[in-house]
Amino acid sequence: MAMTTPSTSTTTVSEANISYTAPLAIVTTLFFMWGFLTCLNDILVPHLKSIFDLNYAQVMLIQFAFFGAYFLFSIPSAKIIDAMGYQRSMVVGLLTMGIGAFLFVPAASAPSFALFLVALIVLAAGITCLQVAANPYVTVLGKPATASSRLNLTQAFNSLGTFLAPFFGGFLILSAAPKAMDEIRAMAPDTLQAYRLHEAATVKTPYVGLGIALVVLAVAIGSFHLPKIPQAQHKVGEKVNDSIWKHPNLIFGAIAIFVYVGAEVAIGSFLVNYFTQPEIGGLTERVAASFVSFYWGGAMVGRFIGSGLLQKMKTGQLLGICSICAAALVAISMLSTGHFAMYSIILVGFFNSIMFPSIFTLGVAELGPLTGDGSGIMIMAIVGGAIIPLAQGAIADRIGIHHAFFLPVICYLYILFFALSGSKPNSERQARA
């Protein structure tokens, strides 16, 4: 990313005497929190599917509501950054997330699937603001050459959150064995309502605790002195002789984020139900939830390894290798059964690892003061996590969950194109012209 030399302000990140360790450590806690909360959706999917007797397409409205919020709130979040700066925008995001977490209490008390969706939208709106601010902040908080490695390292702690969340959610939310659907459907209306109240109540304690943690973290972030990055911020009213639409790497990158998040979320959302299939694992939901942790844990391990590899390899090259491996593993799982199908789909998480931070870094390269706006476009593309799982749910209702995974394979093939061609920034395109 092109960086200009600012004036001798003591708060800018380009001064050589500033240490980035403490700011990166503080911002990394944000990556952990939104990873943890995002992955809890994978536990909500089978839990609410059972409570409200939903089919696959209907229960995927959980992911549609959550990731649809990225589409709605990404551009407004970018404007908040322009007006308030990166640090205050992070505080706004955390407080909004806290409100969304507290809204799970009335949703469970009703109980109402629609209210759960509202709570998820508010929660995701806060995460959107956080992502639009934190991702580009990390990419420019240091040398441009190590931006991808740096973002992969912070995203590794995001994956730590996604690794721990299924254990946490499985223990507190899926602690009781669910009743068979035939038994639930046979219940009298009063009994059914009592059953739903009891089962829905298991989400209250986890989300209240998370809401309190988010408010405390907001206070901590607001109190900490984070370096400013004026070179990567477009101030309100400031004219910039450039346009985000003149950077093809951003456009192709947004599409890559769309399909990557869609594929990752679609796989993760179906794993509990996939592993309970007799021909795949025949596991209980609680045991299956623990295996989901290995899918997300693979991404965590891969990001730590990838952070080191990206200091020696080009980002596009490593991204291409990972996309080929991910597509092959999903295809293998579709064509096999039993534990072989289970472990091959779990291993996809390892190769997912470097994809989001690498795509993001390549997508916002050379945007300069348009970095915040470009970040808004990239984060808006996370709406793929709403659309692709919903589409896969509709496919699974028709051809079965096992073979519905062909959709993620297509997504990974597009990422291969982006890695090899679509990710080239303008400087490289013009040099080859």
Reported residue count of the chain is: 433
Tokens of 93: 């995001």
What 3-state class would DSSP assign to 229? coil
200, with CB counted inside 10 A (0-12, 13-18, 19+), is buried
338-347: per-residue pLDDT in tens? 999 999 999 9
**Region class of 216: left (phi > 0), else alpha (psi between -120 and 50), else beta:** alpha
Which residues, in sequence order, are bridge partners of residue 228?
12
Asked if residue 364 is part of any domain, the answer here is: yes
> What separation in angstroms does the CA of 12 have from each of 4, 221, 222, 229, 347?
11, 18, 18, 6, 41
The CA-atom distances, in angstroms, between 1 and each of 140, 253, 431 are 8, 15, 16
The count of other CB atoms within 10 Å of the CB of residue 415 is 28
Number of H helices, E strands in the chain: 20, 0
Residue 12 lies in a domain: no
Task: Assess if residue 2 is contained within a domain.
Answer: no
- pLDDT of the residue at 7: 32
Q: Point out which residues pair with 12 in neighbouring strands.
A: 228
d(CA 329, CA 321): 13
Residue 228 phi/psi, 5-degree rounding, is -85, 155
| 108 within some domain | yes
Q: Is residue 15 part of a domain?
A: no
The 10s digit of each residue's pLDDT in 315-329 is: 999 999 999 999 999
Any domain includes 322: yes
- Tens digit of each residue's pLDDT (9 = 90 or more) over 392-433: 999 999 999 899 999 999 999 999 999 999 988 877 877 765
Residues of the chain below pLDDT 70: 1-19, 174-186, 229-241, 432-433
Parent domain of 350: 21-428
Nearest of 241, 261, 265, 264 to residue 253 by alpha carbon: 261
* Two tokens, residue 102: 């507290």
The radius of gyration computed from the CA coordinates of the chain, to the nearest angstrom, equals 21
Q: Spell out the alpha helix ranges (H) of 229-383.
A: 248-275, 285-309, 315-335, 338-352, 355-363, 371-380
Residue 197 is which amino acid?
L
In a domain? residue 7: no
Task: Quote the Cα angle for 61-401-196, to 5°.
Answer: 45
- Phi, psi of 75, rounded to the nearest 5 degrees: -65, -45
Residue 405: what pLDDT?
Answer: 95
pLDDT score recorded for residue 421: 92
**SS3 breakdown of the chain: % helix, strand, coil, rounded to 5?**
80, 0, 20
What CATH number has the domain bearing residue 254?
Answer: 1.20.1250.20
- Does residue 14 sit within a domain? no
- Long-range CB contacts for residues 285-290, cutoff 8 Å, separation at least 24: 285/46, 285/174, 285/177, 285/178, 286/170, 286/174, 286/175, 286/177, 289/42, 289/43, 289/46, 289/166, 289/167, 289/169, 289/170, 289/174, 290/166, 290/167, 290/170
Total structural domains within the chain:
1
Measure CA 360 to chain center: 12
Q: Which pTM was predicted?
A: 0.75
CA dist 251 and 419 (Å) reads 13
User: What CA–CA distance (Å, rounded) separates 266 from 393?
Assistant: 8
- Backbone CA torsion sign across 228, 234, 239, 242: positive
